[in-house]
Each structure stands twice: as C-alpha cells, then as structure tokens.
Structure 1
Amino acid sequence: MPVANYEQYCTMLDRAKKGGFAYPAINVTSTSTANAALEAFANMKSDGIIQVSTGGGQFASGQSVKDMALGAISIAQHVHLMAQKYNVLIALHTDHCHPNKVDGFMIPLIEETEKRRAKGEPNLFNSHMYDGSELPLEENIRVSKELLERCAKNEIILEIETGVVGGEEDGVNNEDTPADKLYTSPEEMVQVAKALRPVGKFMYAATFGNVHGVYKPGNVKLRPEILKNGQAAVVKEFGEEAANWLVFHGGSGSELSEIHETLGYGVVKMNIDTDTQYAYSKGVVDHMFKNYDSMLKIDGEVGNKSFYDPRAWMKAAEKTMTARIEQACRDLKSDGKSILHS
C-alpha cells in the first residue's frame, strides 16, 4: 500500500489509543535500514512508523553533502516507493528537531510537502517532531503553536515534547538534566492542550523518567503514573475526547511491564533506535567474525567476493534488525492489528 494518508494515520493513532497498543517508530538512516523496517512490519501484519532524525538525514545525504533535509527527503521518497509493495500502512515521521534546527530541517520538509500538495501529490511526511523541551514552557508552546498552524494547513501531525528525556541521542546530551525536568507535570499537559487543541492534531512526548541510550533492564526508573495523572487532568478540563496521543521516547532498558502500563495511559507510539542500531550492527559483526578469512585478503590470498560483497553483510544486518522490530511489534501489541488486516 502507499504510505498512509492523513485520515488513515489519524485512524491508526485512534485505534492504538482505544485498543491499548502502540506502533514501533523506527529510526532509519539508509535504504537498507528502511527496508528492514518495512519487512518487519509486513511480517507482523502491523502498521508502523518509519522516522528520520536530523543526524539520520545528514548521514543519508552523504559525508560530503551533509544536508539533513535532503537526506530525509531521499529516505522518504524511497519509503514511498517501497511501501507500495507491502500490505500494511506505513507513516513517515521526523524525530527530535531542536529549535536551532527548525529552519534547516523541519521547514524545508514542510515546504517540500507544500510543493507536492500543490501538484496533487501526497504529503512527503505524515508528521514532524518539534522538540522545544530545552526552552521555557511558554516559549516552547508558542513555537509549537506556530509550527502546528502551518502543519495543520497541510494535514501534517505535529509531535511536541515538554520535560526532558534524559541520556544521549543523535549528538544531544541530556545526561546531566536535573531530576525534576525528567517529569512532565499535569499542569503542563493542561497548558499544552489548551493552547494546541484548537489549532490542529498533535502527538505529545510527555516525559516520565525515560532516558535515551543504552541501559540494562531495571536501571531506568520510570514513573508511568505521570502519564496517567496528566491524561486525567486533561480529560477533567476538556473532556474525554481531549486525551492525548502520547509518545514514549527512550525505551531501552525499560521493563516490559512498565511499557505495557503506559499503553493503558494513551501511549500510541514508541521510538526505537538504540536497540535497532545494535541489532543491525550485530548482524554485521556476526558475518565478519564467522567469515574473517573470506572477508580479507590474508597471507597473499584473494578473499571470497561472495562474502565481502557489501550486499552479503548488509543482508545479514537487515535480518537481525528485522527480527528486533518484529519483537517490538509483539512487545507493543501491534502485531496482527494492521488496519488492512482487520
């Protein structure tokens, strides 16, 4: 199927919220990693989200070009083409765009969608994330509102964040963030709802102790009740229909029971990057170690082209990444729930 349209994407998110499941949102940096994600979603009969970060877009554009927006456009165009070969719905999203990168990343991507819509073509991306969590709340909301106004005109969903996700990701380090900043308050969630609900549809990455990076299970101290209390405050103020589409960032090292608890509080999207990076690399390492003598020209030998052909080890990497995403579908209970299979 083609990449989901606006109505289909909204239906995906509504079904997840009502059904107590979430979609894995997989960060990709290449056509290879995007293909691994597409295969996994299709295998699990799960709709899903493929996303590109600023760093991922920059990498995809090549080491000489280093154009984050152009690289993101390239990956998105690839997904638009390949998604038609799979019988699940795929949404395209961009991850953490900090204030200093809005003009170089998000705005060019919105402009690309505006150009496409003017020609009667579908949106390039279904949603974008603006991460203004480093700003004072009032400033974060003001900029989020401005961006949402433009997104809403083009049937784009905006993801926003208040509070700070700890740890390090994509070159942004929040490891020294004060503890109180790691938790979004109910009052903040009400403020956000009051400002943004009249403007357009948005997803909300509220923070509840989650952190980016690599941690052993049990090392991350989550407080899922933060989401429960925040949602309750929003519903009390604006009614049941105002309950947020929530997003879970920094899930590595989280206990599965805690992940499942968040699904009951409105989490519909969970970002997965660190674990899939490892899974992809593990496939490469396994191939290299098992075929060392074939990969290299040792002691005057010539190696074995069928092993050092990049396609050989990239296939291995895609398999291990696909398997990890399939696990994510099962963990988030999205398997077998594609709109196209219901």
Structure 2
Amino acid sequence: MPVVNYQQYCQMLDNAKQNKFAYPAINTTSSETINAALLAFKEAKSDGIIQVSTGGGKFGSGLGVGDAAKGAIALADYARQMAEYYDVNIALHTDHCHPEAVDSFLVPLLAESKKRTAAGQPPVFSSHMFDGSPIPMKENIAQSKEIFKKCREMDVILEIEIGVVGGEEDGHDTSGVKKEKLYTTPEDMVFAAKELLPIGRFLLAATFGNVHGVYKPGNVKLQPIILKNGQDAIAKELGADKRLDLVFHGGSGSDLKDIRDAVDYGVIKMNIDTDTQYAYTRPVVDHMMKNYDGVLKIEGEVGNKKVYDPRSWGKKGERNMADRIIRACEDLRSSGTSLGKNI
C-alpha cells in the first residue's frame, strides 16, 4: 500500500488511541533495515512507522556524501517505493532533531516537501520530530510552534519532546542530566497542549524515566503513572477529548508491564532502535564466526564466495530484525490491527 497521507495517518493514530495499542516506530539506516521493518509489519498484520534519525540519514547517504537530510530523503523514497508492495499502512517519520540540527536537517526536508506538495506530490515524510528538550521549556515550545506551523502547511504532523530522555543516541549524550529532568510534570504537559493543539494534531514525547540504550534490570526506573497524571490534568483543564497522542522513547529493555501501562495511558507510538540494531547484528556475527575461514582469504586461500557474499549474511540480519519487530508488535498489542484498505 502507498505510504499514508495525513487523513490516513490520523486514522491510524485514532485506531491505536481507541483500541489501546501502540505502533512500533523503527529506526532505519539502510534499504535492508527498511525491508526488515516492512516484512515484520506485513507478517504481524500491523500498520507501522518507519523513521530516520539525523545519524541514520547521514549514514544512509554514504561516506561520499555524509549529509543527513539527503540521506533521509533517499531512505524515505526507498521506503515509499517498497511500501507499495505490502498490504499494511506505513507512515514515514524523522526521529530526534535537536535545535542545533534544525537548519541542516529539518529545514531542507521541509523545503523538499514544499516543492513536492506544490507539484501535487506527497511530502517526503508523514511526520517530523523536533526535540527541544535540551533548551528551556518556554523556548522549546516557542520553537516547536514555529516548526509546527510550517509542517501544517503541508499536512505533516509534528512530534515534540518535553523533559529529557537519558542516555546517549546519535552522539547526543544526556547521561549527566539531573534526575528530575527525566520526569515530565503535568503542568508541562498542559502547557504543551494549550500552546500546540490550536495549531493541529501533534505527538508528544513526555518523559517518565526513559533512557536510550539497554541497561541491566533495575537500572532504569520508569514511572508510567506520570503519563496518566499528565493526561488527567489535560482532561481536567481542557476537556477529555484533548488527551494527547503520546510517544515512548528509550523503551529498549523495558519490562512488559511498564510498556503496557504506558500504552494504557495514551502512548500510541514507541521508538525502537537499540534492540533492532542488536537483532540485525547478532546473526551476522554468528555467520562470521562460524564461517571464519570462508569469509577471509587467509594463508593463500581464496575464501568461499557463498559465505562472504553480503547477501548471505544480510538476509540473516534482515530476518532476525524482522522477528524482533514482530515481537514488539505483540508487546504493543498492534498485531492484527492493520486497517488495510479500509483507510
């Protein structure tokens, strides 16, 4: 199916919100990882979200280009082409864009979308994320509003973040942040809702102890009740129909109960990156270790083309990553929920 338009994307989000499930949002960096995500959504009978970060875009553009925006456009175009052959609905999203990367990443992406929509074509991405969490709250929301207005001109949804997700991702390290910053307050959620809802529908990454990466059990203290408290505060001040579409960042390695609680409190999108990175790499390592004498030309031998051909180990990585995403669909209750051709 084609990548969804704005109205179809809203139907996807409504489906998740009403039926208390969330879409896995899979960070991709290559055609292989995009293929893995598409395969998983098809087999799980789940609609889904494929996303590209600044680092993913830069990697996707290759060493000879090294441009995050150009790589993101190329990956989005590839995903759009391949999605046509699958019977599930796919939205395209860009992950964390911090303030310092707006001019080099978001601005050229929005410019390309403006050019395409003016020609009657869909925008490059269905939604974007502006992560203003490193800057003061009022400044974060003010900048979010300006970016959101530009997105709305092309029927593109904006995701923002308030609070701070701990850990490190794409070279952005927040491991030294004060612990209280890891927990979004109800007041901040109400403020974000008041400022952005008049512009249109948006996604909110509210933090409740989230940390990027995978840690041993007990190291990360998630408090999903924070999301409920924020949603209740919004309902009390603005009305029950104003409860927000929430996003769960830093979810790798989380307890299933915490995941399900977060979904029950309004999370409709959960980012998955670390777990799928490992899932792709694990069988590749296994292949290399078991075929050491075949993948290397050692001691004057010629190796074994059948095992050093990238296709031989690339397929294994794709399959294992797809299996991990299918498990995510099950954890998030999105399996079997695809709207298919009904949207």
TM superposition shift of 1:281: 0.6
CA RMSD of aligned residues (A): 1.0
Q: Distance in 1 between matches of 2:252 and 2:341?
A: 29
Q: Distance in 1 between matches of 2:287 and 2:152?
A: 46
Structure 2 matches for 1:175-214, cutoff 5 A?
175-214=175-214
Q: Distance in 2 between matches of 1:4 and 1:51?
A: 14
Q: Distance in 2 between matches of 1:341 and 1:117?
A: 24
SS at match of 1:299: coil
1:218 touches 1:255 (CA, 8 Å); kept in 2? Answer: no
TM superposition shift of 1:71: 0.1
2:159 touches 2:203 (CA, 8 Å); kept in 1? Answer: yes
CA deviation string 1:253-304 (max 9, x = no partner): 2100110001110000000000000011102101111211111112222111
TM superposition shift of 1:17: 1.0
TM superposition shift of 1:216: 2.5
1:31 touches 1:75 (CA, 8 Å); kept in 2? Answer: yes
TM superposition shift of 1:18: 1.1
CA deviation string 1:139-183 (max 9, x = no partner): 001000001111111100000001000011110101111011001
Structure 2 counterpart of 1:113, one-letter code: S
Q: Distance in 2 between matches of 1:241 and 1:106?
A: 30
Structure 1 counterpart of 2:50:
50
TM superposition shift of 1:341: 7.1
Q: Distance in 1 between matches of 2:320 and 2:288?
A: 14
TM-score for both structures, normalised by structure 2: 0.98
Q: Distance in 2 between matches of 1:327 and 1:217?
A: 19
CA deviation string 1:24-48 (max 9, x = no partner): 0000001111111110101111000
TM superposition shift of 1:64: 2.4
Q: Distance in 1 between matches of 2:290 and 2:326?
A: 25
Tell me whether 1:316 sits opposite 2:316 in the alignment: yes
Q: Distance in 2 between matches of 1:132 and 1:170?
A: 15
Structure 1 counterpart of 2:41:
41
2:45 touches 2:337 (CA, 8 Å); kept in 1? Answer: yes
Structure 2 counterpart of 1:147:
147
TM superposition shift of 1:111: 1.1
Q: Distance in 1 between matches of 2:338 and 2:292?
A: 41
CA deviation string 1:155-213 (max 9, x = no partner): 00000001000011110101111011001000001111111010111100000001001
1:23 touches 1:269 (CA, 8 Å); kept in 2? Answer: yes
1:41 touches 1:48 (CA, 8 Å); kept in 2? Answer: yes
Q: Distance in 1 between matches of 2:213 and 2:261?
A: 21
2:253 touches 2:275 (CA, 8 Å); kept in 1? Answer: no
Q: Distance in 2 between matches of 1:286 and 1:245?
A: 40
Percent identical pairs in the alignment equals: 61
Tell me whether 1:84 sits opposite 2:84 in the alignment: yes
Structure 2 counterpart of 1:16:
16
Q: Distance in 2 between matches of 1:217 and 1:78?
A: 37
2:92 touches 2:125 (CA, 8 Å); kept in 1? Answer: yes
Structure 2 counterpart of 1:72:
72
Structure 2 counterpart of 1:238, one-letter code: L
Tell me how many residue pairs correspond in the alignment: 342
Q: Distance in 1 between matches of 2:332 and 2:204?
A: 18
1:50 touches 1:90 (CA, 8 Å); kept in 2? Answer: yes
Structure 2 counterpart of 1:122:
122
TM superposition shift of 1:217: 3.5
Tell me whether 1:259 sits opposite 2:262 in the alignment: no
Structure 2 counterpart of 1:255, one-letter code: D
Structure 1 counterpart of 2:285:
285
1:45 touches 1:341 (CA, 8 Å); kept in 2? Answer: no
1:295 touches 1:308 (CA, 8 Å); kept in 2? Answer: yes
TM superposition shift of 1:77: 0.3
Structure 2 matches for 1:100-249, cutoff 5 A?
100-249=100-249
Structure 2 counterpart of 1:330:
330
TM-score for both structures, normalised by structure 1: 0.98
Q: Distance in 2 between matches of 1:311 and 1:115?
A: 36
Q: Distance in 1 between matches of 2:197 and 2:341?
A: 31
1:161 touches 1:204 (CA, 8 Å); kept in 2? Answer: yes
Q: Distance in 2 between matches of 1:320 and 1:110?
A: 34
Task: Give the unaligned 5+ runs of structure 1.
Answer: none
Structure 2 counterpart of 1:179, one-letter code: K
